[in-house]
Chains A and B, each alone.
Chain A
Amino acid sequence: AQRVTQPEKLLSVFKGAPVELKCNYSYSGSPELFWYVQYSRQRLQLLLRHISRESIKGFTADLNKGETSFHLKKPFAQEEDSAMYYCALSPLSGGYQKVTFGTGTKLQVIP
């Protein structure tokens, strides 16, 4: 079974402070990890994927297989980062693979 845990429902940080949104997963095989974001009045959309190893809007996430984590980080939070963030997991193989989402963390950046 695959499972994604986001322990924080709400994370409040001041503008300019570092951000870390936690994500832990449980899966026996090789996973593919994602972060999705939903800004106010916008649709849920992909933020980044671990296999792309890219930085999007200043956010990065590193897959730590030893700790089974995929935390989302940004060194300096901006007000426009306020949104709902979901971590997701999918088996890393071809064909249809079920994507499992966490319960989400609401990030609130205080001006």
Chain B
Amino acid sequence: SQTIHQWPATLVQPVGSPLSLECTVEGTSNPNLYWYRQAAGRGLQLLFYSVGIGQISSEVPQNLSASRPQDRQFILSSKKLLLSDSGFYLCAWSVVGTGNTIYFGEGSWLTVV
């Protein structure tokens, strides 16, 4: 069966420091991969999605970037964190043929101080 792993679960970083959140999917090939941010009252905001290795699409302009170095690996990064980057980040995947059902990781809490 397919599983998704996301880490770290919690992270406290100072302003101006770099960020790296990592996500891997097991049990499937060529998944679509996503990074979402979940904020109270604002729902789920799609940040990035990827349909293949090296293919990244950004949904909103921001201080973050994403990379997909391997088929089932998705990384969310920042060179210099801002206070406004604090939030709950979710990695997710889907596969064509599953009717666009999205499967989420457990999320990462980022606090920028």
Contact = CB atoms under 8 A, between A and B. Distances in A.
A93 B107 CA distance: 28
Contacts, number: 51
Given A96-B32, A96-B51, A104-B43, A43 B99 contact: no
B101 interface: yes
B100 A99 contact: yes
A97 B100 contact: yes
A34 B105 contact: no
Contact of A103 (B32, B41, B51, B102): B41
Interface residues of A, number: 25
B20 to A, nearest CB: 21
A86 B51 CA distance: 24
B15 interface: no
A20 interface: no
Interface of B: 32, 38, 41-44, 46, 49, 51, 90, 94, 96, 99-107
Nearest first, the 8 A-B pairs at minimum CB distance are A103-B43, A101-B44, A90-B100, A44-B104, A43-B106, A104-B43, A96-B51, A43-B104
